[in-house]
Amino acid sequence: MKPVNILMNLICLLQIVWRSVLLGSCQAFGITVTSYCSTNYLSLGWYISVMSFFHFSEFVVTSVIRPQNLTSESFLLNHSKAYGIAALVSWVEYWTELWLFPGLKKSYWISGIGLFLCIGGEIVRKTAMLTAFHNFDHLIRTQREEHHQLVTGGIYSLCRHPSYVGWFYWSIGTQIMLCNPLCSVAYLIASWKFFNERVFEEEVTLLNFFGKEYVAYQSKVPTGLPFIHGYNIN
């Protein structure tokens, strides 16, 4: 192996290591906040743990289903600039409202609903990834791989895009869990718009890959996302 390749592999490994350490530390911090800090910060501890687990589990599951594609990007920590901005805005809202309206953050039953959505969304998404296995990818494919098959069984018999369904409800759940009223609405709208465009774009490629087979699948199974119907060839 050339020295340049060795160096690149080492850099990639270091990027994976520091992200893993960061997420592990955040997970430990979230558990500590939940267990030992004032109940005023209960939802914050849940939030930190949920966020850490989501991103780390994305990497772990990808390592199982598509090890050849595994990189530091598989954590989805830098998913997009919009994703980072959305997270930052939610933190600003949380701390601002905790300062001005501390009682708002003590609605534990509301936080519990958010936690339920996050856990449910996480289960749905990871089930979808494991069911699709090597047919799953974080990116929309523009060319069909030799082994690429249309998955219609398991959780895919209930909805066409279960990984997006899980992520959609997980995303909204994080803001309900923090009792962030503004970001709860903003995340709902932004997530819906993102997945509406994403499903439309992805189904164009799936129709090109699978033709009538995918048309028949579309006619029987909904997307699973509210008011999102995908690309209709008719």
pTM: 0.94
Residue 44 near residue 178 (C-beta atoms within 8 A):
yes
The 3-state DSSP class for residue 7 equals helix
- Give per-residue pLDDT as tens, 27-50: 999 999 999 999 999 999 999 999
Of the two residues 147 and 154, the one the predictor is more confident about is: 154
Residue 232 near residue 203 (C-beta atoms within 8 A):
no
Q: What is the CA radius of gyration of the chain?
A: 19
Nearest-angstrom CA–CA distance, 70 and 102: 42
Nearest-angstrom CA–CA distance, 5 and 179: 48
The ranges assigned to domains in the chain are: 3-219
**Residues in contact with 52: Cβ distance below 8 Å, sequence separation at least 6, in sequence order:** 23, 24, 26, 27, 30
Nearest-angstrom CA–CA distance, 205 and 40: 47
User: Which of 75-84, 93-102, 122-131 shows the lowest mean pLDDT across its residues?
Assistant: 75-84
The secondary structure of residue 178, as a DSSP letter, is: T
Sign of CA dihedral 41, 44, 46, 48: negative
Q: What's the mean pLDDT when you consider all of the chain?
A: 95
- Give per-residue pLDDT as tens, 148-160: 999 999 999 999 9
Architecture of domain 3-219: Up-down Bundle (1.20)
**Residues in contact with 221: Cβ distance below 8 Å, sequence separation at least 6, in sequence order:** 152, 156, 157, 158, 159, 160
The secondary structure of residue 146, as a DSSP letter, is: T
